Amino acid sequence: MWVEILCGLVAYKLIRAVFFSDDGLDQLAGLDSSHSDLCFAVAARLERLYGGRCFVGLRIPDPDAGARQHVDVVLVTKREVMVVAINNVSGFVEVDKDGNWFTEKKRKQEVIRNPVLEVSRIAANLQSYLEQRGATLPNGIVNGRVVLPNPNCRPSYTINLQPEVISYDQWKDLKADTKGGLSTWIKGAFHGNKSDIQDSLLQNLYSILSTSPMWDRLELRGDKNVLGEFMEFKGKHEDMPLLKKVKRSKVSRFVIQKSTLFGGFGRSRVQILYSPRDYRAEGTSSSEWKEISVKQYTEIHFQPLHSKKVRKFKLSSVASVTLSAYLQRE
């Protein structure tokens, strides 16, 4: 009887490990995906309201720093190019004489470098970058906005008066104008240029930004997104020749399927669907997907944005990875 119970427990643990894993939740300890999640959520909403296209996680040259600077979201519509900086600050927010913001948390003051000045600087750098790549831009077409999406944010009256700042109340009430696709809830918030951008320039902007350096996107199960850099796969020696097919220069995106059993216990494998990169066209069709099968113990090594540490993720915790063809190391 005890032998049967023991065998049953062993079988239960094996089945649970294969089919009902914790999806690597322990690997997510200390991993903050909130800012990346907000970037994609804000981008998706702006596209729904205004059309056009959003580009998340661009890395444009910063002449002052001699390096590349991260850009949360760039919205391109027929009327404007809008740099959107997302600040998830909470609590009462005040502004000092230098324009810096500050808030107190647990009796400790947190200073935020003048967000309005910073987003204006990023917008100027983006305009310079676009012009260097051949875009002829009308005056005033590139602007910057600071979005405060946290419902617990209480900005001061002085901050609310700044036209570049979009408070939470303004953000949640954002509505598109059916006539021109522009906002009517706050004058000039996402208004930009008075006349439409010519189609040729619009397509040129899409092309430039699509081929600009940007961060990779790691999508985790549980609707979490992490911007950063995909480093490599780590797996069994016999799987590495297959995994070497999935590299940045050859693949634009790969999707992790749930593990399945092949021929009994101990032979669980995971399917990876990957889309070959086509530099001539954007997007992929389902007919272009290819597939490899590897052992479930394979890991993805990924370095999140603003982190010096490379994180290891089991395949079971990952939904997909989108690889930037133009990610450039410093």
Q: Which of 211, 241, 261 is the last residue of a domain?
A: 211
Residue 299 in tokens: 């890991």
Q: Which of 172, 194, 211 is the last residue of a domain?
A: 211
**Summary count for the chain: helices (H), strands (E):** 7, 18
Beta bridge partners of 227: 217
Asked whether residue 301 is assigned to any structural domain, the reply reads: yes
Are 189 and 73 within one domain?
yes
Q: How many domains does the chain have?
A: 3
Beta bridge partners of 195: none
Confidence (pLDDT) at 19: 39
Q: What is the CATH number of the domain that holds 40?
A: 3.40.1350
- Which residue range forms the structural domain that includes residue 21? 1-30
Asked whether residue 241 is assigned to any structural domain, the reply reads: yes
Are 93 and 2 within one domain?
no
Q: Going residue by residue through the chain (330 aa), what tens digit of pLDDT does each one get?
A: 554 555 555 444 444 444 334 444 445 556 778 999 999 999 999 999 988 999 999 999 998 888 899 999 999 999 999 999 999 999 999 999 889 999 987 778 889 999 999 999 999 999 999 999 999 999 899 999 999 999 999 999 999 999 999 999 999 998 875 544 444 444 455 555 557 889 999 999 999 999 999 999 999 998 999 999 999 999 999 999 999 999 998 999 999 987 665 555 556 789 999 999 887 665 555 568 999 999 988 999 999 998 999 999 999 899 999 999 886 554
Asked whether residue 186 is assigned to any structural domain, the reply reads: yes
Residue 173 in tokens: 């009430």
Q: Which of 167, 195, 211 is the last residue of a domain?
A: 211
3-state SS assignment for residue 108: strand
Instruction: Write out the H or E segment, with its range, that includes residue 132.
Output: helix 115-132
Asked whether residue 198 is assigned to any structural domain, the reply reads: yes
Are 151 and 39 within one domain?
yes
Q: How far is CA 112 from CA 96, 102, 133, 139, in A?
A: 10, 6, 32, 30
Are 175 and 223 within one domain?
no
Are 264 and 122 within one domain?
no
Asked whether residue 197 is assigned to any structural domain, the reply reads: yes
Asked whether residue 329 is assigned to any structural domain, the reply reads: no
Alpha-carbon span 240 to 277, nearest angstrom: 20
Alpha-carbon span 301 to 292, nearest angstrom: 18
Are 23 and 172 within one domain?
no
Token pair 């204006």 is found at 120
CB 304 within 8 A of CB 226: yes
Residue 279 Rama label (left phi>0; alpha psi -120 to 50; beta): alpha
Are 39 and 9 within one domain?
no
Are 186 and 37 within one domain?
yes
CA angle 197–203–209, rounded 5-degree value = 105
Asked whether residue 330 is assigned to any structural domain, the reply reads: no
Token pair 């944010």 is found at 153
Alpha-carbon span 266 to 244, nearest angstrom: 24
DSSP string, 147-187: E---TTEEE-HHHHT-TTEE-HHHHHT--B-TTTS-B-SST
Alpha-carbon span 176 to 46, nearest angstrom: 9
Are 154 and 232 within one domain?
no
CB 221 within 8 A of CB 64: no
Are 189 and 290 within one domain?
no
Asked whether residue 167 is assigned to any structural domain, the reply reads: yes
Confidence (pLDDT) at 292: 94
Beta bridge partners of 110: 103
Are 156 and 194 within one domain?
yes
Are 318 and 187 within one domain?
no
Confidence (pLDDT) at 33: 86
